[in-house]
Amino acid sequence: MSMSENGETQAGRGPITGLMNEIILHHYDMSPYAEKIRLILGLKGLPWRSVQIPIVMPKPRLTALTGGYRLTPVMQIGADIYCDTKIIAAQLERIAPTPTLYPPGTGALERGLSFWGESMFLPVITVFLGRGGILNDDFVEDRRKLIPGGFDMDLVKAIMPSKLDQLRAKLDLLDMQLSDGRQYVLGDLISLADFSAYHPVWAMTRDTVTQELLAPFEYVVAWGQRIAAIGHGGKIEMDAYEALEIAREASPATTGSEDHDDPSGHRPGDRLQVMPEEYGRDPVVGELVSSDAHEIALRRVDDEVGEVIVHFPRETSLILPAG
Protein backbone atom coordinates (compact mmCIF):
# COMPACT_ATOMS: atom_id res chain seq x y z
CA MET A 1 0.00 0.00 0.00
CA SER A 2 1.31 3.48 -0.85
CA MET A 3 0.27 7.07 -0.19
CA SER A 4 -0.24 9.59 -2.98
CA GLU A 5 1.10 13.14 -2.74
CA ASN A 6 -2.44 14.33 -1.94
CA GLY A 7 -2.76 12.12 1.09
CA GLU A 8 -4.94 9.49 -0.59
CA THR A 9 -4.18 5.86 0.08
CA GLN A 10 -3.51 3.72 -2.98
CA ALA A 11 -4.08 0.01 -2.44
CA GLY A 12 -4.14 -2.90 -4.79
CA ARG A 13 -7.41 -2.86 -6.65
CA GLY A 14 -9.37 -5.72 -5.22
CA PRO A 15 -12.52 -7.42 -6.53
CA ILE A 16 -15.43 -5.04 -7.01
CA THR A 17 -18.16 -7.62 -7.53
CA GLY A 18 -21.21 -6.61 -5.53
CA LEU A 19 -20.08 -3.01 -5.07
CA MET A 20 -21.61 -1.52 -8.22
CA ASN A 21 -24.82 -0.46 -6.47
CA GLU A 22 -23.34 0.50 -3.12
CA ILE A 23 -23.46 4.06 -1.81
CA ILE A 24 -20.02 5.66 -1.77
CA LEU A 25 -19.60 9.01 -0.02
CA HIS A 26 -16.55 11.10 -0.93
CA HIS A 27 -16.03 13.39 2.07
CA TYR A 28 -13.75 14.41 4.92
CA ASP A 29 -14.63 14.12 8.59
CA MET A 30 -14.72 17.85 9.51
CA SER A 31 -17.04 18.83 6.64
CA PRO A 32 -20.38 20.17 7.99
CA TYR A 33 -22.20 19.44 4.71
CA ALA A 34 -20.87 15.89 4.79
CA GLU A 35 -22.14 15.56 8.36
CA LYS A 36 -25.61 16.39 7.03
CA ILE A 37 -25.47 13.41 4.65
CA ARG A 38 -23.76 11.06 7.10
CA LEU A 39 -26.65 11.57 9.52
CA ILE A 40 -29.25 11.03 6.76
CA LEU A 41 -27.53 7.74 5.93
CA GLY A 42 -27.77 6.88 9.62
CA LEU A 43 -31.47 7.81 9.76
CA LYS A 44 -32.27 5.60 6.80
CA GLY A 45 -30.14 2.71 8.06
CA LEU A 46 -28.23 2.54 4.80
CA PRO A 47 -24.81 0.87 4.60
CA TRP A 48 -22.24 3.03 2.85
CA ARG A 49 -18.63 3.22 1.81
CA SER A 50 -16.51 6.13 3.02
CA VAL A 51 -13.82 7.61 0.78
CA GLN A 52 -11.77 10.26 2.56
CA ILE A 53 -10.81 13.11 0.23
CA PRO A 54 -8.22 15.88 0.73
CA ILE A 55 -9.55 18.93 2.55
CA VAL A 56 -7.92 21.30 0.05
CA MET A 57 -7.17 21.16 -3.66
CA PRO A 58 -5.92 19.34 -5.62
CA LYS A 59 -8.43 16.48 -5.35
CA PRO A 60 -7.59 14.45 -8.46
CA ARG A 61 -9.55 11.31 -7.57
CA LEU A 62 -12.68 13.35 -6.85
CA THR A 63 -12.51 15.59 -9.92
CA ALA A 64 -11.92 12.56 -12.14
CA LEU A 65 -15.43 11.50 -11.14
CA THR A 66 -17.11 14.90 -11.21
CA GLY A 67 -15.34 16.62 -14.10
CA GLY A 68 -14.27 19.57 -11.97
CA TYR A 69 -16.86 19.97 -9.20
CA ARG A 70 -14.84 20.10 -5.98
CA LEU A 71 -17.29 20.79 -3.14
CA THR A 72 -17.92 18.29 -0.35
CA PRO A 73 -19.58 15.82 -0.21
CA VAL A 74 -20.07 13.91 -3.46
CA MET A 75 -22.02 10.65 -3.61
CA GLN A 76 -21.25 7.88 -6.06
CA ILE A 77 -23.38 4.88 -6.97
CA GLY A 78 -21.61 2.91 -9.67
CA ALA A 79 -21.08 5.35 -12.55
CA ASP A 80 -23.67 7.89 -11.34
CA ILE A 81 -22.18 10.83 -9.46
CA TYR A 82 -24.32 13.15 -7.30
CA CYS A 83 -23.10 16.69 -6.55
CA ASP A 84 -24.67 18.86 -3.82
CA THR A 85 -26.50 17.66 -0.72
CA LYS A 86 -29.94 18.53 -2.15
CA ILE A 87 -29.50 16.02 -4.97
CA ILE A 88 -27.82 13.48 -2.69
CA ALA A 89 -30.73 13.67 -0.22
CA ALA A 90 -33.29 13.27 -3.01
CA GLN A 91 -31.51 10.18 -4.33
CA LEU A 92 -31.25 8.64 -0.86
CA GLU A 93 -35.00 9.20 -0.50
CA ARG A 94 -35.58 7.24 -3.73
CA ILE A 95 -33.39 4.40 -2.47
CA ALA A 96 -34.96 4.29 1.01
CA PRO A 97 -38.31 6.16 1.14
CA THR A 98 -38.81 5.46 4.85
CA PRO A 99 -38.24 7.14 7.17
CA THR A 100 -38.97 10.01 4.84
CA LEU A 101 -37.06 13.29 4.63
CA TYR A 102 -40.14 14.97 3.17
CA PRO A 103 -43.19 14.48 5.44
CA PRO A 104 -46.51 14.73 3.60
CA GLY A 105 -47.86 18.24 3.30
CA THR A 106 -44.57 20.01 4.07
CA GLY A 107 -43.50 20.72 0.46
CA ALA A 108 -42.17 24.25 0.07
CA LEU A 109 -42.15 24.75 3.86
CA GLU A 110 -39.52 22.05 4.29
CA ARG A 111 -37.48 23.45 1.42
CA GLY A 112 -37.73 27.00 2.71
CA LEU A 113 -36.62 25.99 6.20
CA SER A 114 -33.75 23.98 4.71
CA PHE A 115 -32.46 27.04 2.86
CA TRP A 116 -32.94 29.18 5.95
CA GLY A 117 -31.11 26.69 8.17
CA GLU A 118 -28.17 26.45 5.80
CA SER A 119 -27.94 30.24 5.72
CA MET A 120 -26.13 29.91 9.06
CA PHE A 121 -23.19 28.14 7.43
CA LEU A 122 -21.37 31.10 5.82
CA PRO A 123 -21.65 33.30 8.96
CA VAL A 124 -20.09 30.45 10.99
CA ILE A 125 -17.19 30.16 8.52
CA THR A 126 -16.78 33.95 8.51
CA VAL A 127 -16.48 33.91 12.31
CA PHE A 128 -13.89 31.13 12.12
CA LEU A 129 -11.90 33.06 9.51
CA GLY A 130 -12.14 36.32 11.45
CA ARG A 131 -11.06 34.76 14.74
CA GLY A 132 -7.98 33.18 13.23
CA GLY A 133 -6.16 30.10 14.49
CA ILE A 134 -9.13 27.80 13.88
CA LEU A 135 -8.53 27.10 10.19
CA ASN A 136 -4.97 26.61 8.96
CA ASP A 137 -3.39 28.79 6.27
CA ASP A 138 -3.73 26.17 3.51
CA PHE A 139 -7.45 25.82 4.25
CA VAL A 140 -7.97 29.59 4.25
CA GLU A 141 -6.13 30.07 0.96
CA ASP A 142 -8.03 27.21 -0.65
CA ARG A 143 -11.40 28.62 0.45
CA ARG A 144 -10.41 32.08 -0.76
CA LYS A 145 -10.34 30.60 -4.27
CA LEU A 146 -13.88 29.26 -3.86
CA ILE A 147 -15.43 32.72 -3.57
CA PRO A 148 -15.78 34.69 -6.82
CA GLY A 149 -13.31 37.55 -6.42
CA GLY A 150 -11.87 36.04 -3.24
CA PHE A 151 -12.20 37.81 0.12
CA ASP A 152 -10.31 40.44 2.07
CA MET A 153 -9.20 39.18 5.49
CA ASP A 154 -9.25 42.69 6.97
CA LEU A 155 -12.88 43.02 5.90
CA VAL A 156 -13.67 39.55 7.27
CA LYS A 157 -12.28 40.55 10.67
CA ALA A 158 -14.21 43.83 10.59
CA ILE A 159 -17.57 42.19 9.89
CA MET A 160 -17.10 39.20 12.21
CA PRO A 161 -19.05 40.80 15.12
CA SER A 162 -21.98 41.38 12.75
CA LYS A 163 -21.90 37.71 11.80
CA LEU A 164 -22.15 36.77 15.46
CA ASP A 165 -25.19 39.06 15.69
CA GLN A 166 -26.75 37.34 12.68
CA LEU A 167 -26.09 33.89 14.12
CA ARG A 168 -27.64 34.83 17.46
CA ALA A 169 -30.77 36.08 15.70
CA LYS A 170 -31.08 32.85 13.72
CA LEU A 171 -30.49 30.69 16.78
CA ASP A 172 -33.13 32.63 18.68
CA LEU A 173 -35.67 32.01 15.91
CA LEU A 174 -34.80 28.32 15.81
CA ASP A 175 -35.06 28.12 19.59
CA MET A 176 -38.53 29.72 19.51
CA GLN A 177 -39.58 27.24 16.81
CA LEU A 178 -38.57 24.33 19.05
CA SER A 179 -39.83 25.79 22.34
CA ASP A 180 -43.38 24.38 22.10
CA GLY A 181 -42.18 20.87 22.90
CA ARG A 182 -41.87 19.63 19.32
CA GLN A 183 -39.09 17.15 18.66
CA TYR A 184 -38.10 18.48 15.26
CA VAL A 185 -38.23 21.68 13.24
CA LEU A 186 -41.54 20.86 11.53
CA GLY A 187 -43.14 19.06 14.46
CA ASP A 188 -43.03 15.44 15.58
CA LEU A 189 -41.62 14.13 12.27
CA ILE A 190 -38.01 14.60 11.31
CA SER A 191 -37.33 16.13 7.89
CA LEU A 192 -34.53 17.33 5.65
CA ALA A 193 -34.95 20.75 7.29
CA ASP A 194 -33.57 19.31 10.54
CA PHE A 195 -30.38 18.09 8.90
CA SER A 196 -30.00 21.32 6.92
CA ALA A 197 -30.27 23.45 10.06
CA TYR A 198 -28.21 21.08 12.18
CA HIS A 199 -24.96 20.96 10.26
CA PRO A 200 -24.08 24.66 10.84
CA VAL A 201 -24.95 24.15 14.52
CA TRP A 202 -22.63 21.12 14.53
CA ALA A 203 -19.87 23.33 13.11
CA MET A 204 -20.47 25.86 15.90
CA THR A 205 -19.43 23.30 18.49
CA ARG A 206 -15.90 23.41 17.04
CA ASP A 207 -14.89 26.76 18.59
CA THR A 208 -15.24 28.32 22.04
CA VAL A 209 -16.80 31.60 20.83
CA THR A 210 -19.52 29.92 18.82
CA GLN A 211 -20.00 27.33 21.58
CA GLU A 212 -20.69 30.18 24.02
CA LEU A 213 -23.07 31.79 21.53
CA LEU A 214 -24.98 28.51 21.18
CA ALA A 215 -25.11 27.51 24.83
CA PRO A 216 -28.07 29.70 26.04
CA PHE A 217 -30.43 28.25 23.43
CA GLU A 218 -31.53 25.21 25.40
CA TYR A 219 -34.10 23.96 22.92
CA VAL A 220 -31.61 24.12 20.06
CA VAL A 221 -29.00 22.32 22.15
CA ALA A 222 -31.43 19.53 23.10
CA TRP A 223 -32.64 19.22 19.50
CA GLY A 224 -29.03 19.03 18.32
CA GLN A 225 -28.36 16.20 20.74
CA ARG A 226 -31.35 14.29 19.34
CA ILE A 227 -30.04 14.72 15.78
CA ALA A 228 -26.48 13.74 16.73
CA ALA A 229 -27.77 10.59 18.45
CA ILE A 230 -28.96 9.26 15.06
CA GLY A 231 -25.37 8.42 14.20
CA HIS A 232 -23.84 7.59 10.84
CA GLY A 233 -25.04 4.05 10.32
CA GLY A 234 -22.99 1.30 8.72
CA LYS A 235 -19.85 2.99 7.41
CA ILE A 236 -17.04 1.00 5.77
CA GLU A 237 -13.87 2.76 4.66
CA MET A 238 -12.93 2.44 0.98
CA ASP A 239 -9.84 3.40 -0.97
CA ALA A 240 -10.30 6.20 -3.54
CA TYR A 241 -8.75 4.11 -6.32
CA GLU A 242 -11.26 1.33 -5.70
CA ALA A 243 -14.08 3.85 -6.07
CA LEU A 244 -12.65 4.94 -9.44
CA GLU A 245 -12.45 1.34 -10.56
CA ILE A 246 -16.09 0.81 -9.63
CA ALA A 247 -17.07 3.81 -11.77
CA ARG A 248 -14.96 2.54 -14.66
CA GLU A 249 -16.44 -0.96 -14.56
CA ALA A 250 -20.05 0.13 -14.00
CA SER A 251 -22.57 1.48 -16.48
CA PRO A 252 -24.61 4.57 -15.56
CA ALA A 253 -28.09 3.69 -14.33
CA THR A 254 -29.61 7.01 -15.43
CA THR A 255 -31.78 6.81 -18.53
CA GLY A 256 -32.40 9.66 -20.92
CA SER A 257 -35.43 11.87 -20.46
CA GLU A 258 -36.48 15.17 -21.99
CA ASP A 259 -37.87 18.11 -20.06
CA HIS A 260 -40.45 19.45 -22.51
CA ASP A 261 -41.09 22.46 -20.25
CA ASP A 262 -37.45 23.51 -19.97
CA PRO A 263 -37.62 27.33 -20.07
CA SER A 264 -34.17 27.51 -21.69
CA GLY A 265 -34.98 24.92 -24.35
CA HIS A 266 -32.24 22.49 -23.34
CA ARG A 267 -32.62 19.07 -24.98
CA PRO A 268 -30.84 15.72 -24.51
CA GLY A 269 -27.61 15.74 -26.45
CA ASP A 270 -26.90 19.44 -25.88
CA ARG A 271 -23.39 20.27 -24.70
CA LEU A 272 -23.73 22.19 -21.44
CA GLN A 273 -21.67 23.40 -18.53
CA VAL A 274 -23.03 23.34 -15.00
CA MET A 275 -21.57 24.97 -11.90
CA PRO A 276 -22.71 26.04 -8.42
CA GLU A 277 -23.93 29.63 -8.43
CA GLU A 278 -22.87 30.78 -4.96
CA TYR A 279 -19.27 29.57 -4.69
CA GLY A 280 -16.96 26.87 -6.05
CA ARG A 281 -17.77 27.80 -9.65
CA ASP A 282 -15.76 25.05 -11.31
CA PRO A 283 -17.75 24.19 -14.47
CA VAL A 284 -18.53 20.60 -15.37
CA VAL A 285 -18.96 20.11 -19.11
CA GLY A 286 -20.93 17.27 -20.63
CA GLU A 287 -23.83 16.11 -22.75
CA LEU A 288 -27.32 16.57 -21.34
CA VAL A 289 -28.88 13.18 -20.59
CA SER A 290 -31.91 13.96 -18.48
CA SER A 291 -33.50 16.82 -16.58
CA ASP A 292 -36.64 18.01 -14.87
CA ALA A 293 -37.59 21.04 -12.79
CA HIS A 294 -35.22 20.05 -9.97
CA GLU A 295 -32.34 18.03 -11.41
CA ILE A 296 -30.04 17.99 -14.42
CA ALA A 297 -27.66 15.18 -15.40
CA LEU A 298 -24.71 15.35 -17.79
CA ARG A 299 -22.83 12.50 -19.47
CA ARG A 300 -19.08 12.87 -19.56
CA VAL A 301 -16.13 10.61 -20.35
CA ASP A 302 -12.88 10.63 -18.41
CA ASP A 303 -9.68 8.72 -19.08
CA GLU A 304 -9.61 7.38 -15.50
CA VAL A 305 -13.26 6.45 -14.99
CA GLY A 306 -14.76 6.09 -18.46
CA GLU A 307 -18.39 7.12 -18.93
CA VAL A 308 -20.14 8.65 -15.93
CA ILE A 309 -23.30 10.68 -15.44
CA VAL A 310 -23.04 13.64 -13.08
CA HIS A 311 -26.18 14.96 -11.35
CA PHE A 312 -26.77 18.55 -10.14
CA PRO A 313 -29.62 20.54 -8.56
CA ARG A 314 -31.17 23.07 -10.92
CA GLU A 315 -32.31 25.43 -8.20
CA THR A 316 -28.81 26.49 -7.13
CA SER A 317 -26.81 25.87 -10.32
CA LEU A 318 -25.78 27.95 -13.29
CA ILE A 319 -26.52 26.05 -16.52
CA LEU A 320 -24.91 27.45 -19.64
CA PRO A 321 -24.07 26.30 -23.17
CA ALA A 322 -20.61 24.74 -23.32
CA GLY A 323 -18.17 26.94 -25.23
| 8 confidence band (pLDDT: 50, 70, 90) | very low
Contact 281, 243 (CB under 8 A): no
For the residues 290-295, what does the mean pLDDT come to? 97
CA distance 104 to 191: 10
pLDDT at 17: 57
* Cα 130–chain centre separation: 24
CATH class of the 2-99+234-321 domain in this structure: alpha beta
| CATH number 1.20.1050.10 given to 107-228 | yes
The helix or strand, by DSSP H or E, that contains position 249, with its residue range, turns out to be: helix 240-249
Contact 80, 252 (CB under 8 A): yes
pLDDT at 276: 97
Contact 213, 207 (CB under 8 A): no
pLDDT beyond 70 at 290: yes
Could you tell me where in the chain the CATH 1.20.1050.10 domains are found? 107-228
Phi, psi for residue 175 in degrees, rounded to 5: -65, -40
Could you tell me where in the chain the CATH 3.40.30.110 domains are found? 2-99+234-321
pLDDT at 12: 36
For the residues 223-241, what does the mean pLDDT come to? 97
CA distance to 77, 165, 180, per residue, from 308 (Å):
10, 44, 47
| 83 confidence band (pLDDT: 50, 70, 90) | very high
